[in-house]
Structure 1
Amino acid sequence: MSGVVNVFVISPDTHSERRIDPHLTVEALKGKLESITGIPVSNQSLTLLASESDPRVVAHLSDDSKKLGFYGIADWQVIKVVDTDPSTSFTGQLTDVSQVYKFEITDSEYAKRQDSVLAYKQRNKVGRFADKPAEEETATSEDIPAGARCEVESTEPGLKKRGTVRFFGQTKFGKGTWVGVEYDEPFGKNDGSVQGERYFSCRQNYGVFVRPDKLKVGDFPPEELNLEDDEEM
């Protein structure tokens, strides 16, 4: 799609990269941001920032009738979504664990328990305690080249974990071949390094390492907002 810009959308509970059409009105954008941020349209206050590293305010998107291009929206700027009435939408409470009671037990005490999930896995050889079959690796760096777009398997229905291949080969943290992926969104577990060893570089929580059979290489563009009208008149 021509004319779209790549921006970051941030809110108290979310952070993602999106492709947005500058011809979209602020009102239409708010409607699409509700499903991403969980903040009702009526509660949204939008601010355009210079970049992730430069939080200067470029514009306040205060006129719902104006198109985003009116405010000069450009690649890699940040749309900050603020909830003006979080008491009605629980915004921010998803990341506030200060009021959550935590039952704590030491690792040694947990290991002694016979009614734990750990004990069950050990008895039944589940997960990391399972007998490991000989690995049959047929994928090569030519099949999964650095820079290729890919999609990683997900157990959540409808969730597409897409990114770019950044590494293919042996590692110090595990036997066999691993593929390092930089996700488009913060679905990952690291920044391209594991146990002090760096294999590639990306932002924290955007990096992940998976086995070659857990991803597909192909034409997987970044997920973007649905810019078409929901209904045709």
Structure 2
Amino acid sequence: MASNLHIQGDESVLLRVTHSNIKTFSADIRFSLQTTIEAVKEKLWRKCGTSVDSMRLELYDDIGAKVSDLADSTRLLGFYSPQDGFRLHVIDLDPSSVTSGGWLDDTSLVEKYKISDEAYSKMDGTFRKFKEEMGLQHQKEQVPDNYMENLCANIKVGDRCQVEPGEKRGVVKFVGQGETLRPGFWVGVQYDEPVGKHDGMIKGHRYFSCPPQCGGMVRPDKVKVGDYPERDPFEDEEI
């Protein structure tokens, strides 16, 4: 059961966040215990797209038992006595939400525009035309297929990481080569904040899934893996 928790200083807690509609969504997020539930919802809205007014939060312990409903938006998170490793579950109550119906999980639900090969060949400014016009001009400049493969040895899917430039933090979601990527090895990252360029799909090929504008594909030399917890956007605020 929830209880009054005495909070001192800048104590924080690392929670695993899941979502009722987005089955592939799972993130470890650090929260200040002095943050109100309203502010927690605001932070989660930026992560998963569920509006604050349509969001209900449930807290589960590290063995999966429900601890409490975080129903009072004016309470501090610390009131509910969360601990590192607990799970914060987001329930989207809006039946017309962008997260409903599996749209963000199953791309097969999205109606796709198709163009005939003949019509595509007649279009100007396409990638196919670009390749035809360039021909073999840059053949010698192409990087080898194993470019930066050695730098991927210590980078694994699921690792926390920091990407340069910009010290952008996130989670490794993909390591390898791709048919819609330039030659060599790449690392796909789900950023903690919407500072990316996509949701894990690049040129029609899905390499991983993440919230919109949270995905990035970078070379391994830009990625450092290690203990890079998510930054709390409220930690620098003055009260």
Shorter chain as denominator, the TM-score bin is: 0.5 to 0.7
Q: How many residues align?
A: 204
1:146 deviates by 3.5
Percent of paired sites with the same residue: 23
Q: Distance in 1 between matches of 2:200 and 2:39?
A: 30
Q: What is residue 45 of structure 1 aligned with on the other side? A: 56
**Shift in alpha-carbon separation, 1:49–1:145, aligned structure 2, 3 A:** same
8 Å contact kept, 1:151–1:216: yes
1:47 deviates by 0.7
Q: Distance in 2 between matches of 1:218 and 1:100?
A: 34
1:110 deviates by 6.8
Find 1:75's aligned residue among 81, 84, 96: 84
1:6 deviates by 1.7
Q: Distance in 2 between matches of 1:17 and 1:92?
A: 22
Q: Distance in 1 between matches of 2:190 and 2:49?
A: 22
8 Å contact kept, 1:49–1:77: yes
Structure 2 gaps of 5+ residues are: 1-8, 193-197, 202-207, 211-215
Tell me the secondary structure at the aligned position of residue 82 of structure 1: strand
Q: What is residue 211 of structure 1 aligned with on the other side? A: 219
Report the TM-score, using the length of structure 2 for normalisation. 0.55
Q: What is residue 11 of structure 2 aligned with on the other side? A: 3
Q: What is residue 17 of structure 1 aligned with on the other side? A: 28
Q: Distance in 2 between matches of 1:119 and 1:145?
A: 34
Deviations 1:136-157 (A, max 9, x none): 999897x99837943057xxxx
**Shift in alpha-carbon separation, 1:50–1:140, aligned structure 2, 3 A:** same
Q: Does 1:222 align with 2:233?
A: no
Q: Distance in 2 between matches of 1:8 and 1:71?
A: 15
Tell me the secondary structure at the aligned position of residue 85 of structure 1: coil
1:79 deviates by 1.3
Deviates more, 1:36-45 or 1:218-227: 218-227
Q: Distance in 2 between matches of 1:209 and 1:98?
A: 23
Query: What is the identity, as a one-letter code, of the residue corresponding to 2:50?
Result: I
**Shift in alpha-carbon separation, 1:182–1:32, aligned structure 2, 3 A:** closer
8 Å contact kept, 1:31–1:41: yes
Q: What is residue 60 of structure 1 aligned with on the other side? A: 69
1:133 deviates by 1.3
Q: Which runs of structure 2 are paired with 1:71-220 in the superposition (5 Å)? A: 71-87=80-96, 89-92=97-100, 94-95=103-104, 100-104=110-114, 109=117, 113-115=121-123, 117-125=126-134, 130-133=138-141, 135=143, 146=154, 149-151=161-163, 160=168, 162-163=170-171, 178=185, 210-213=218-221, 215=222, 217=224
8 Å contact kept, 1:24–1:68: yes
Tell me the secondary structure at the aligned position of residue 132 of structure 2: helix
8 Å contact kept, 2:189–2:217: no
**Shift in alpha-carbon separation, 1:130–1:40, aligned structure 2, 3 A:** same
Structure 1 gaps of 5+ residues are: 190-203
**Shift in alpha-carbon separation, 1:81–1:229, aligned structure 2, 3 A:** farther
Deviations 1:161-190 (A, max 9, x none): 5347x98xx98x99997465775669668x
